[in-house]
């Protein structure tokens, strides 16, 4: 299937939000008591909170699922369903470092909140699902790049390039999935496989594959990811066991499903995110840590605090 291309100008980045900071090194946003580690590959990942990360490789920097609401703020998740944020992000939206584009797993208010919607620069490119891109375009966004499952986009900035492939993902399964297909209560979601390419002096091209699960439940189709992408260096796994009240339906992986996904995809390393930021997240980090210990994944799972940087 044909690929999309997003070409980013080589000039300095514009701020993401009104009244936000100008372009600055990502390391300036790391907590003062953290010391970033440099690696030969040269990538950086900063966890802001919930599913929001800022990822940088060579000259390209992007943000996932921007959510800058504060503790006590509420989001709307479905008709009659709200959630309250219980953990603050690492910094406010107006302190957010400039990025080249946004990678959005889906258009849910805990991934693209009202604060973000009000203040974000409408010309900032956004890569997301066709559903999200359609709605963002209607809101005045001028640079949206929709991806169906398994479709790919090449992001180019000067001589730097990363590739992104949309991965399968489902918020709902079974009867709930059939109902949602007709009622459109919960938006469609995608995961992402981001491939960074590093050219060595001897001409060898080294790939680094970052998988981002998105807000999916675990189901059999996710096993196909391993067949198509058998070598995953790092997985960002959205957990939390998000459970809608009243109907008591879980719409993101809990600890058990998270381990099922890791065993199916076999990444070299994994980082849990989207795990304890809202009161509808019913599977805490401690549950996942127990499952990690039971299955022997301790040496491959990395736990970040908000505002901490991971070098890859």
Write out pLDDT tens, residues 122-164: 999 999 999 999 999 999 999 999 999 999 999 999 989 999 9
Quick one: average pLDDT of 243-272?
A: 94
**Whole-number percent of the chain with pLDDT over 90:** 78
pLDDT of residue 38: 47
Residue 35 pLDDT > 60: no
Which fold does the domain 4-311 belong to in CATH?
Metallo-beta-lactamase; Chain A (3.60.15)
pLDDT of residue 280: 96
Quick one: average pLDDT of 94-119?
A: 96
CB 101 within 8 A of CB 6: yes
**Whole-number percent of the chain with pLDDT over 70:** 92
Q: Which residue has the higher pLDDT, 67 or 183?
A: 67
Provide CB contacts within 8 A for 287, sequence distance 6+: 241, 254, 255
Nearest CA to 122 out of 137, 141, 136 is that of 141
- Summarize pLDDT for 155-212 with one digit per residue, the tens: 999 989 999 999 999 988 876 666 666 556 789 999 999 999 887 777 778 899 999 9
Residue 32 pLDDT > 60: no
Residue 299 pLDDT > 50: yes
SS3 285: helix
State the pairing for strand pair 152-157/160-167. antiparallel
Q: Read off φ and ψ for residue 254, nearest 5 degrees.
A: -90, -170
Quick one: average pLDDT of 46-56?
A: 98
Nearest CA to 49 out of 226, 275, 290 is that of 275
DSSP one-letter code for 38: P
Cα 221 from Cα 212, distance rounded (Å) = 15
pLDDT of residue 3: 84
Helix (H) / strand (E) containing 192: strand 191-199
pLDDT of residue 176: 67
Question: Which residues share a beta bridge with 74?
Answer: 84
Q: Rounded mean pLDDT of the chain?
A: 91
Residue 28 pLDDT > 80: no
Q: Which residue has the higher pLDDT, 108 or 42?
A: 108
pTM: 0.94
Which structure tokens are listed for 98?
A: 């400039």
Q: Which of 163-172, 213-222, 245-254 has the lowest mean pLDDT?
A: 245-254
Nearest CA to 185 out of 84, 92, 78, 289 is that of 78
Residue 215 pLDDT > 50: yes
């Amino acid at each position: 299937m044909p690929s999309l291309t997003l070409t980013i100008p080589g000039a300095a980045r514009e701020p993401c939000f009104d009244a936000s900071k100008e372009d600055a090194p990502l390391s300036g946003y790391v907590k003062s008591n953290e010391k970033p580690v440099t690696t030969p590959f040269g990538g950086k990942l900063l966890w802001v909170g919930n599913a929001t990360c800022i990822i940088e490789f060579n000259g390209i920097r992007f943000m996932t699922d921007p959510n800058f609401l504060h503790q006590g703020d509420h989001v709307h998740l479905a008709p009659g369903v709200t959630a309250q944020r219980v953990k603050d992000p690492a910094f406010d939206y107006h302190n957010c470092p400039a990025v080249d584009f946004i990678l959005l797993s889906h258009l849910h208010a805990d991934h693209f909140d009202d604060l973000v919607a009000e203040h974000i620069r409408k010309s900032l490119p956004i890569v997301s699902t066709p559903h999200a891109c359609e709605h963002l375009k209607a809101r005045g966004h001028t640079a949206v790049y929709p991806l169906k499952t398994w479709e790919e986009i090449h992001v180019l900035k000067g001589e730097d390039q990363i590739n992104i492939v949309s991965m399968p993902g489902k918020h709902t399964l079974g009867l709930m999935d059939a109902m949602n297909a007709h009622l459109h209560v919960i938006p469609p979601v995608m995961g992402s496989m981001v491939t960074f390419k590093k050219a060595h002096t001897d001409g060898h091209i080294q790939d680094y594959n970052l998988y981002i699960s998105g807000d999916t439940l675990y189901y059999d189709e996710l096993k196909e990811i391993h067949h198509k992408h058998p070598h995953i260096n790092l997985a960002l796994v959205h957990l939390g066991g998000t459970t809608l009240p009243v109907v008591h339906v879980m719409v993101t992986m809990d600890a058990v499903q998270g381990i099922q996904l890791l065993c199916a995809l076999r990444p070299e390393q994994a980082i849990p995110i989207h795990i304890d930021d809202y009161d509808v997240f019913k599977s805490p980090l401690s549950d996942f840590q127990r499952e990690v210990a039971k299955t022997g994944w301790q040496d491959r799972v990395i736990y970040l605090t908000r505002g901490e940087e991971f070098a890859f």
